A and B are shown apart, each in its own frame.
Chain A
Amino acid sequence: MNEETYDLRTSESHIEVHKFYPGAIIVTLVVVFFLQAFLPQYFHKLAILDLPLLVTIYFGLSRRNPSTGLLLGMAIGLVQDSLSGPTVPLGLYGIAKTIIGYLASSIGARLDTEHPAARFALTILFFGVHQGILALERRILLAQPEVWFTLQLGIAALINAAVGMFLFALLDRLRKPS
């Protein structure tokens, strides 16, 4: 038993935990929320992007600490709830992004997620889980009819994953050199 635990820790120790320059996360979040509210005004089709989700996934995968990942996800989700207006109750995106932050950090602590293909696949997976949680919340907690999956959601997952690859590469530049 002890030997197994030792092996697990040894394998985890190969995965690097990335740190960021001070203020990088806050500035990133402000920019992301600004873009999320601003871009669809001029390019309506960009409303399909969920930049706060992409940032939650990125920082979760990079920092690899489930506790900070879920707290950051919760903060991002609650800000998104606040900015979405009274038709979206506070906590709807908060819960979804808390779970995504936790899952991303947990997976990031076990797998090497630096390769673009891994990031692409994980973003699609997390996008699907995020939509699933939202649908579950709307159905169970808010008693609102919500579809589980549509073709549009599938396309949105692919587009978000593609944008995520570029965004993640951009955010990699905010990391402190190891």
Chain B
Amino acid sequence: MVGVPSRHKSIFLLGGMVLLQVLFLAFQVKRDSQGRLIRVWTVSAMSPFERAGSYGIGSVRGTWGHYFALQNTSRDNEQLRHENEALKLQVTQLESRVAEAARLERLLNFRSSHQQVPMLGARVIGASADSATRTIYLDRGEHDGIQKNMGVITPDGIVGKVIETFGNTSQVLLLTDKDSGVGAMLADSRIQSPVGGTGEPLLEMKYVANDDKVDVGERVVTSGMDRIFPRDLPVGTVKEIKPGNPFKLIRVQPAASLERLEEVIVLLTLQPLDLQKGASETAAPVANGKVASGVAAADKPAIDKPALNR
């Protein structure tokens, strides 16, 4: 029996581990499996830290920044600065809350103008663990009614779609990810074409023929053809147009600030939606002093101040 020299053991171990992972990877590709159990474990282990960090560091960051900015302006009067220090801290805390309230107010306004549409406010608590993918984690998950493939938006425009759900967390594929795409059309000419991510800040509109007229600055909105997002939600604006073969190369600036997301809205349905129809239908019952019928319990307005102020 010939033993394996100890210095070669690590090479065998390396070969074994790499082979094992290659087989695991092949299994996932073949079976379209995504190793959900392992993902649930790791995300469940990490999300409490992300959740705590999101709330803790966010408030510390606001207070810290404002406090030192104010400190510079009050050098002229040292005595007054000391006396007012506590007050200033309170002011800065209030300022950051006002800014947050303004953001939440926009979400609430958006929600109240589309009461027929089931929506849920959620806070962004983390981003992707690698630099190649563009995903974010939300502080709401399956327990709040979120399911895979639900659309995620802000009042400014669409954000992406839910690609994975866990108990109290969910993961959203941003529109800028290279695997992302949305049914879209040009707002003026109504030319339809999917818009996809490239892994960079700008999006790409893919199949617009060279003969079609497109202007820089033209708005791009959802077409509703992907059955995830309702029609006419802002996707972005045309930033750059180049002739291509056989289609134009159109770069689109996303309407929502995808790099600075803090709160988002999840569309709590997998059915095709019509926001404009929803809004007009809502107006009539409210005018009559009645609540619109046919709104299931799960479809009740989910954006409430306590929930968003968490």
Contact = CB atoms under 8 A, between A and B. Distances in A.
Contacts of A154: none
B133 A88 contact: yes
Given A66-B10, A89-B29, A99-B18, A83 B260 contact: no
Q: Which of B17, B21, B131, B137 has the most C-beta atoms of chain A within 10 angstroms of its own C-beta?
A: B21
Interface of A: 30, 33-34, 36-38, 40-42, 44, 47-50, 52, 65-67, 70-71, 74, 78-80, 82-95, 98-99, 102, 105-106, 134, 137, 141-142, 156
Interface string B18-30: 1001101110110
A40 B134 CA distance: 11
Nearest to A32: B129
Contact of A88 (B24, B43, B130): B130
A78 B24 CA distance: 11
B14 A141 contact: no
B83 interface: no
Nearest to A41: B127
B22 A80 contact: no
Interface string B106-144: 000000000000000000101111111101110000000
29 contacts: A33-B129, A34-B49, A37-B128, A41-B54, A41-B126, A48-B131, A67-B9, A70-B17, A71-B17, A79-B129, A80-B129, A82-B35, A82-B42, A84-B130, A85-B133, A85-B171, A86-B164, A87-B173, A87-B177, A89-B29, A90-B21, A90-B25, A91-B22, A91-B25, A91-B28, A95-B22, A98-B18, A98-B21, A105-B10
Nearest to A34: B49
B10 A92 contact: no
Q: Which of A38, A94, A98, A105 has the most C-beta atoms of chain B within 10 angstroms of its own C-beta?
A: A38
A105 B210 CA distance: 55
A85 B34 CA distance: 9
Contacts of A41: 54, 124, 126-127, 136, 261
Contacts of A52: 129
A71 B129 CA distance: 19
Contacts of B177: 87
B137 A37 contact: yes
B25 A38 contact: no
A42 to B, nearest CB: 7
A93 B130 contact: yes
Interface string B78-102: 0000000000000000000000000
Contacts of B135: 84-85, 87
Assign chain B's interface to a size class.
35 or more
Contacts of B4: none
B13 A83 contact: no
Nearest 10 A/B pairs, CB to CB: A83-B129, A66-B10, A82-B42, A91-B25, A37-B126, A91-B21, A90-B35, A86-B34, A44-B259, A40-B127
B298 interface: no
